[in-house]
Structure 1
Amino acid sequence: MSSERKANLFVVGAMRSGTTSFSEVLSKHPQIYFSPIKEPNYFVDSLPKALYEPSRFFDLETYFDKKFPSPKHIAHIENPIHYQTLFSQAAEQHIYVAEASTAYLHAPDTARRIYEYNPNATIVIILRDPLERAYSHYRMDLGLGREKQSFEHCMTTQLKLQRSGDLPWYTYLNMSFYDSVIEKYSALFKTVICVRFEDMIDNTDSFLANLSAELKISPFGYYLFDKNNAAQTPRFKSMWYWGRRLGLKAPFSYLFPSKLKQGIFQKLSRTDRSHLEISNPLFEELNEVFKKQSLNYYKSV
């Protein structure tokens, strides 16, 4: 792999912090080549089903033999040849060769693995209000049929696990903890750029100007961010939940074209942009925990 172009720009998260919109902007810049699989997750040793459950109709060998470089959102690539192939079309004009696996921010030992692959890589971390990020993550799982409990129930349970030291890294709560993971990346990499989701959405021009200056590339063109991947709340939550548990999602995805699937999903769902509602005691406890675990976000506000 040493003779080939290596990825040297990693958008490592946070999940549900606008990384899809951000990656789209990067991919349009003439000096950046972006992986056709946005989240290859190559440096994650074990990717839990809570984050990714591959369709039994998807095969990586078939993708690279017949469909590459068609765009795909997520996969779990373990073969180094497959990973290198993702960047095989990068040209001399591309200063950066990029990917954006959001599990990298919190998955154990990922920072070290990326460093061993390319110690000169640039790391970008997008920070979002921790509670809003956790809620957006929860709503996404509702829409995907991964979750059926209330947000209050989930967070109460996860706070108990956090107090006992048993909180899994991929939970809504833990993936909104930023400080310790930023410290891990900063200890290894010379260039770690932390930006705010809210600045990306609300102050796009200055956000992109600052980003191009930090990356030392030509200015980005005009771009209006929307909140890509806005969570869809299913109208029939039990139907989505049990449909996934019974293995109906994979054949549905395989049999129907993308546009038809999106139309059916939108008919049976609603875009949920409502603000979260939780009890005051839980709200206060979460705020206290986040201010201890995600001080980097609050310092930047």
Structure 2
Amino acid sequence: MAEDLRVAFIVAGVQKAGTTALFDHLGEEPGVTLAATKEVHFFDDEARDWDAPDYGAYHANFPPADGRLRGEATPIYLYWPGSLERIRIYNPGVRLVVLLRDPVARAWSHWRMETARGAETHPFAWCIRQGRQRLFEAAPWGHHREYSYVERGFYGEQIERLLGLFPQGQLLILRAEDLRADPGVALGSVRGFLGLAPGGAPARREVHVGQDGPAGSEPTAADVAYLRGVYAHDQDRLAAMTGVRYR
């Protein structure tokens, strides 16, 4: 595979944490060329032959190579089993950007999205407790694309796995809250990480805000307290590796 065809960076996580806004910002960078659509879903595609993957099919999602950095954003890669391992085989030198968001707020936003889509019919309280058992009836075992409200928030576990495959210098962690509050600073970090030329501050983007449902509701105090307890140990792991902690 020609070196200049390889995708140089991937926004690999996490869902509901501002990856669409970052993708849109990067689409305005002169030194970058992005996939035609966000979320290529190549490395999490279980229907592909991973003993002999067709990277030509992956590269078909991008404009012809022109010397600019190629990148894409598929936030499930950090969570989905095998995805990071497949990315490492494809390009061991790839740079990975991960946006994190308060895992409780992320789980709530995820549930609202699936409810609005009609994929979820159960209340949030049930989903984050009894509903987690549904993942053990899924394939791959223990994972689910829609019902993984709680599981996708175990950031420490996922980052630990990532750092077991890639050097820390190939990982940039951003907080969704920081990207939203000051996109210029956040994008400056991404430019530096990718070796892009400095640029101006972009306009703040509000992507998908207000599009999830049901509207006008919030998680209960009991649900928040429950999830804080569920995530407590994992948050310790995350803080030890990255310095990032939510509550």
TM tier, smaller? 0.7 to 0.9
Report the equivalent of 1:172.
Answer: 149
Counterpart secondary structure, 2:38: strand
Instruction: Please give the alpha-carbon distance, in whole angstroms, between the structure 2 residues aligned to 1:103 and 1:44.
Output: 8
TM-score normalised by structure 1 residue count = 0.69
| Distance across 1 between alignment mates of 2:206 and 2:70 | 24
State how far apart, in whole Å, the 2-side matches of 1:153 and 1:88 are: 44
- Does residue 286 (structure 1) correspond to residue 227 (structure 2)? The answer is yes
Query: Aligned pair in 2 of structure 1 residues 3, 219: CA closer, same or farther (>3 Å)?
Result: closer
Residue 29 of structure 2 corresponds to: 29
Instruction: Please list, as runs of the form range in 1=range in 2, the aligned pairs for 1:129-144 lying within 5 A after superposition.
Output: 129-144=102-117
Q: What's the offset of the Cα at 1:196?
A: 0.3
Contact between 2:180 and 2:204, CA under 8 Å: does it hold in 1?
A: yes
Structural mapping, 1:156-171, within 5 Å: 156-158=129-131, 167-170=142-145, 171=148
> Unmatched 5+ residue regions in structure 1?
48-77, 236-271
Deviations 1:197-227 (A, max 9, x none): 0000112222222222222211233312333
Identity %: 25
- Give the whole-Å Cα distance in 2 for the aligned partners of 1:117 and 1:186: 16
Structure 2 CA distance for aligned equivalents of residues 233 and 11 of structure 1: 22
Q: Distance in 2 between matches of 1:140 and 1:30?
A: 33
3-state SS in 1 of match to 2:185: helix
User: Is 2:65 the counterpart of 1:90?
Assistant: yes
Equivalent in the alignment of 2:123? 150
Name the larger-Rg structure.
1
Residue of 193, 212, 218 corresponding to 1:276: 218
Q: Is the contact made by 1:7 and 1:87 (CA closer than 8 Å) also made in structure 2? A: no
AA partner of residue 177 (structure 1): F
After TM superposition, the score normalised by the length of structure 2 is 0.82
DSSP 3-state at the match of 2:129: helix
Q: 2:187 aligns with which of 203, 208, 229?
A: 208
Alignment-derived partner of residue 300 in structure 1: 244
Single out whichever of 217-226 and 133-142 deviates more from structure 2: 217-226
| 1:140 Cα offset (Å) | 0.9
Assess, with a 3 A threshold, how the Cα gap between structure 1 residues 136 and 286 changes in structure 2: closer, same or farther: same
Distance 1:219 1:279 in 2: 43
Work out the number of aligned pairs and report it: 229
| Aligned partner of residue 189 in structure 2, secondary structure | helix
User: How far apart, in 2, do the equivalents of 1:162 and 1:145 lie?
Assistant: 18
Change in Cα spacing, 1:231 to 1:109, as seen in structure 2 (3 Å) is farther
